[in-house]
A and B are shown apart, each in its own frame.
Chain A
Amino acid sequence: MSAWGRAMLQAARGQMVSFARAPITTIFALALPLNLMLLMSLFALTGYNAPTGLVMGEDTPRAQAFVQALRDAHNSFALRPMDRDAALDLVRRGRLVAVIEIPNGFDATIAAGRIATVQLTVDNVNLDMTEDVRRAVPAAAAIFAERLQLPGVRVRPRLINLLPKDTGYVEYLGVSAVALAAVIAGGVLGGTVVAREWEIGAARMLLVAPTGAGPVLIGRLAAAACMGVLASAVTALVVIFGYGVPAAHPLEAVAGLVFTVIASTSLGGLLGVVLRRTLPITPLVLGTQLPFFLDSGALEPQRFDGEVLFWLAHFSPAYFGVGVMEHAYNSLIVTPEPVWLLLVALALIGIVPAMLMGRLAKR
């Protein structure tokens, strides 16, 4: 084996020993991606089915039909039957998004061909949920009219889904968060192990070594990437067994995870060489990658949010990672680029910063 290869292997081994000697630090580093993945999933839990108080003025067939229409109005309401005072109190305290009151006489009014008036009280504090509720009520009315075959409706929507089944938001976001875990784990560990070489003064000695700093830094990054893969694998397994989302293409999932970690570790290493201090690495990686994660197709295909955000997303490995993972788990295509191209991009992101690192280390 060449001196270059030996130095790299020694550096990697030394870094693994260092991880083992600081178990608490290592555990926190491993916990961070899992922590973020679990917490990001909270966002998905309130993405739909707005908690809504349901006040029934009567329990009649048509009133029940309207309630069923509300329930079937595109996952808009989590209806909670309750009395009027309790419902209004809860909505005023921000515990419900809305209150829907079906009046006494609803059934008879509809039966007579007249218009029944439903009261809707909305806590219009969160515009996203408020608009969902406002749009869902007409949608429910349309479903109601369709089921009762009411006359006079001239136009109906005919919805055609391109995919055979909808993917739930938790399943979608949970899988995206595996890519986030890989990006954070790789970035934090890669940046920290490289920056530490400067902090402890080892970098100066490495620069005068016959092989230069390159093999040692790459060896350190390789060890960091191994830990990153381990941390990300834990989150991937939580998604499979905890969230019940099996990987449709397991090999692709493994490749996506490994390539995303390698790309992020390499970028983290580059950051470490530039900053040469461990302290800002984690906040910087987290502070930049969390927003990039939201701008990576993690919530929906990124191009839907406009061209500027779409192209901006390409500056982070999260975009490519999310694209691969969504296909690997859910068989979804969320990027215009094919999966092989996403993997190639991740590989390039892994290689280029690692090559630049050696040059920058000499400065």
Chain B
Amino acid sequence: MSRIVWAIARSDITRWRRSPALVAATLIPAIGMSLTVLALTYAVGRQPVALVRLSDGPESDEVVKILRESDGFFLSERTAEEAADDLRNQWVCAVITIPENFDEAVATKSANLEVAINNVDLDFSDDIRRSVSEAVVQIDAPELASLGEEAEAGGEKEEEDETADEAGAGEMSSTLVRRANAWFVVPDDGGAEFEAEYISAGNPYLVNVIETDLRSPDISFLAYQMVPVLALLALTAGALVTALSIAGDRESGRLRVIRLTPASRLGIVLGHLAGGTVAATLLLAIVVVPLALTGVLQPPPGRWPVVAAILVATAVGSTGLGVVVGLVTQRLTTTVLLGVNVASASFLLGGGFTTIAFLPPFIQHIAAAVPSYYAVEGLREALFYADMPTLGRNLAVLIATGVLSLLVGAWMLARSRSPLSAM
């Protein structure tokens, strides 16, 4: 049987290699998606904003410095008229104005930073609002607004916190009371009250945050988004190519001839499964190796064998889907349409642009029926997380998809017509 399996597998791979149309069908969706991810990497979380400065002075200088250093903006300094024009013509999505007499207002604790936002949609409008708040908080409490910055800053921050805690630990309980425009700490033991600013100097928000990250450094957006792109590549190379190959055989009459040979039905289906899996695995390797060498994909030490196993299992599962799609359809056009519907649904429900765990439960249940969900989850776990609690399940589902497709495929091949024949 192995001779038949490899003959069919070789034939599928050779046909794919020699057909520019098939190569294009396989590679273009994945290449397009990679380029999109690359473009989004540079755009994500950062918005073009105009700065209008109507005040000069050390406080204004400080605010400008903070805004320039913020990773939430692409900042350009403009006059009020230019900024209004830019906002109208969508060169910028917001205008931050440092008003006249800003420095004087800062001295009296009544300064405002005016932010006009083109609030077309909630996602990026909220990005701007958060970034502006962060920048404003940085003026009075730099340590609160420096979340996610390098470890050195974190170390200093913790030290300060400890000092503050120690300072507070020895004090009696007290109450904060407002009188006119000032706040006073009134010790509960009846001691002399004093102005609150004295204690909270340096952080008037009275809240500090100690951030613990699960890993250091942050995972780059490119690396995170490359995982579903790999799944997409497996889907197009494994599922689409195999489906088209089988449908092509059926349309040209080759499938009928093959069925007349002594080759077992299981062997024929296994041949297509092997061919698609090998093609998909090779393509994945061609993409993954450069990503690993350039440091885009950096799993924890010792994880590469696990990553490789999941990639091969993804190729098996995807090709299994392709076998079923190819056998269920009669016409090549139908195969293409069903294949693309299945591939796009698998990609997007697998976590293509999102994290399935964060979606409503009913969508999570639907996603759980899609093999690519297990591929994306398995790869993300292996590449980015310390533990891999669902590794066994993910591998089992992907391999089981391939095995199930073998059985279903062999059964379908035994039927004289495809389930969707003549339609």
Interface residues of A (CB under 8 A from B): 22-25, 28-29, 31-32, 35-36, 39-40, 42-48, 50-51, 66, 73-76, 91-95, 97, 108-128, 130-132, 134-139, 141-145, 149-163, 166-169, 172, 188, 192, 196, 275, 277-284, 286-288, 290-291, 294-295, 299-301, 303-306, 309, 332-336
Which of B132-140, B267-275, B285-293 lies at the interface? B132-140
Cβ–Cβ contact B90 & A112, under 8 A: no
Q: Considering the complex, give the chain A residue whose CB is closest to the CB of B241.
A: A283
Contact of B340 among A32, A118, A154, A166 (CB under 8 A): A32
Min CB distance B419 to A, Å, is 10
On whether A159 and B132 interact (CB within 8 A), knowing A113-B196, A154-B139, the answer reads yes
Contact of A169 among B121, B175, B334, B344 (CB under 8 A): B121
Min CB distance A305 to B, Å, is 4
Cβ–Cβ contact A336 & B90, under 8 A: yes
In the complex, chain B residues whose CB is within 8 Å of the CB of A35 = 341, 344-345
Which of B143-151, B306-314, B408-416 lies at the interface? B143-151
Bound-complex Cα distance A11 to B341 (A)? 28
Q: B387 interface residue, CB < 8 Å from A?
A: yes
Min CB distance B215 to A, Å, is 6
In the complex, chain B residues whose CB is within 8 Å of the CB of A110 = 176, 206-207
In the complex, chain A residues whose CB is within 8 Å of the CB of B117 = 159-162
Q: Considering the complex, give the chain B residue whose CB is closest to the CB of A189.
A: B337
- Which 4 residue pairs are nearest across A and B when measured between Cβ atoms? A152-B204, A139-B133, A287-B28, A287-B29
Contact of B355 among A94, A158, A303 (CB under 8 A): A94
Bound-complex Cα distance A44 to B39 (A)? 18
Cβ–Cβ contact B183 & A167, under 8 A: no
In the complex, chain B residues whose CB is within 8 Å of the CB of A281 = 336
Cβ–Cβ contact B129 & A139, under 8 A: yes
On whether A36 and B176 interact (CB within 8 A), knowing A92-B214, A115-B200, A152-B201, the answer reads no
Min CB distance B347 to A, Å, is 8
Min CB distance A57 to B, Å, is 13
Min CB distance A68 to B, Å, is 13
What would 10 A/B residue contacts be, using CB atoms closer than 8 Å?
A: A92-B214, A112-B199, A114-B171, A127-B224, A152-B200, A154-B139, A156-B112, A168-B122, A172-B120, A294-B36
Min CB distance A285 to B, Å, is 9
Cβ–Cβ contact A141 & B176, under 8 A: no
Q: B386 interface residue, CB < 8 Å from A?
A: yes
Q: B159 interface residue, CB < 8 Å from A?
A: no
On whether A145 and B139 interact (CB within 8 A), knowing A42-B354, A112-B174, A159-B117, the answer reads no
On whether A122 and B214 interact (CB within 8 A), knowing A127-B219, A159-B129, A301-B120, the answer reads yes
Cβ–Cβ contact A141 & B123, under 8 A: no
Cβ–Cβ contact B123 & A48, under 8 A: yes
Cβ–Cβ contact B210 & A117, under 8 A: yes
Q: Which of B173-196 contact A (CB under 8 A)?
A: 173-176, 178, 181-183, 185, 196
Q: B260 interface residue, CB < 8 Å from A?
A: no
Cβ–Cβ contact B337 & A119, under 8 A: no
In the complex, chain A residues whose CB is within 8 Å of the CB of B116 = 160-162
* Most chain A CB within a 10 A radius of its CB, from B33, B204, B215: B204
Min CB distance A217 to B, Å, is 18
Q: B40 interface residue, CB < 8 Å from A?
A: yes
In the complex, chain A residues whose CB is within 8 Å of the CB of B100 = none
On whether A291 and B35 interact (CB within 8 A), knowing A127-B224, A138-B147, A150-B206, the answer reads yes
Bound-complex Cα distance A47 to B116 (A)? 22
Q: B87 interface residue, CB < 8 Å from A?
A: yes
Cβ–Cβ contact A137 & B140, under 8 A: no
In the complex, chain A residues whose CB is within 8 Å of the CB of B39 = 291, 294-295, 305, 309
20 additional A-B residue pairs with CB within 8 Å, beyond A150-B206, A152-B196? A42-B353, A42-B359, A66-B207, A114-B200, A115-B164, A115-B200, A118-B209, A120-B209, A126-B219, A131-B45, A135-B72, A139-B137, A144-B205, A160-B114, A161-B117, A279-B336, A288-B32, A291-B32, A303-B90, A335-B90
In the complex, chain A residues whose CB is within 8 Å of the CB of B244 = 279
On whether A25 and B359 interact (CB within 8 A), knowing A125-B214, A141-B144, the answer reads no
Q: B93 interface residue, CB < 8 Å from A?
A: yes
In the complex, chain A residues whose CB is within 8 Å of the CB of B87 = 162
Which of B316-324, B377-385, B394-402 lies at the interface? B377-385
Interface residues of B (CB under 8 A from A): 21-22, 24-26, 28-33, 35-36, 39-40, 42-45, 47-48, 63, 71-72, 87, 89-93, 106, 109, 111-127, 129-134, 136-141, 144-145, 147-148, 161, 164-165, 167-168, 171, 173-176, 178, 181-183, 185, 196-197, 199-201, 203-215, 218-221, 224, 236, 240, 244, 329, 331-334, 336-338, 340-341, 344-345, 348-349, 352-355, 357-360, 363, 380-381, 384-387, 389, 420, 423
On whether A332 and B120 interact (CB within 8 A), knowing A127-B220, A309-B39, the answer reads yes
In the complex, chain A residues whose CB is within 8 Å of the CB of B144 = 137-138, 141
Q: Considering the complex, give the chain A residue whose CB is closest to the CB of B130.
A: A135
Cβ–Cβ contact A303 & B204, under 8 A: no
In the complex, chain A residues whose CB is within 8 Å of the CB of B120 = 163, 167, 172, 300-301, 332-334
Bound-complex Cα distance A183 to B31 (A)? 19
Bound-complex Cα distance A36 to B171 (A)? 62
Cβ–Cβ contact B219 & A144, under 8 A: no
Bound-complex Cα distance A290 to B36 (A)? 9
In the complex, chain B residues whose CB is within 8 Å of the CB of A301 = 90, 93, 118, 120
Cβ–Cβ contact A284 & B24, under 8 A: yes
Min CB distance A274 to B, Å, is 12
Cβ–Cβ contact A287 & B32, under 8 A: yes
In the complex, chain A residues whose CB is within 8 Å of the CB of B423 = 22-25
Cβ–Cβ contact A131 & B148, under 8 A: yes
* Most chain B CB within a 10 A radius of its CB, from A48, A112, A306: A112
Q: Considering the complex, give the chain B residue whose CB is closest to the CB of A133.
A: B147
Bound-complex Cα distance A94 to B386 (A)? 11
Cβ–Cβ contact B132 & A157, under 8 A: yes
On whether A24 and B334 interact (CB within 8 A), knowing A39-B344, A94-B357, the answer reads yes
In the complex, chain B residues whose CB is within 8 Å of the CB of A305 = 39, 43
Cβ–Cβ contact A304 & B130, under 8 A: no
Cβ–Cβ contact A120 & B129, under 8 A: no
On whether A151 and B214 interact (CB within 8 A), knowing A125-B219, A282-B336, A288-B28, the answer reads no
Bound-complex Cα distance A138 to B129 (A)? 11
Q: Considering the complex, give the chain A residue whose CB is closest to the CB of B108.
A: A154
Cβ–Cβ contact B161 & A117, under 8 A: yes
In the complex, chain A residues whose CB is within 8 Å of the CB of B89 = 303, 336
Cβ–Cβ contact A120 & B123, under 8 A: no
Cβ–Cβ contact A136 & B130, under 8 A: yes
Bound-complex Cα distance A188 to B337 (A)? 9
Cβ–Cβ contact A116 & B208, under 8 A: yes
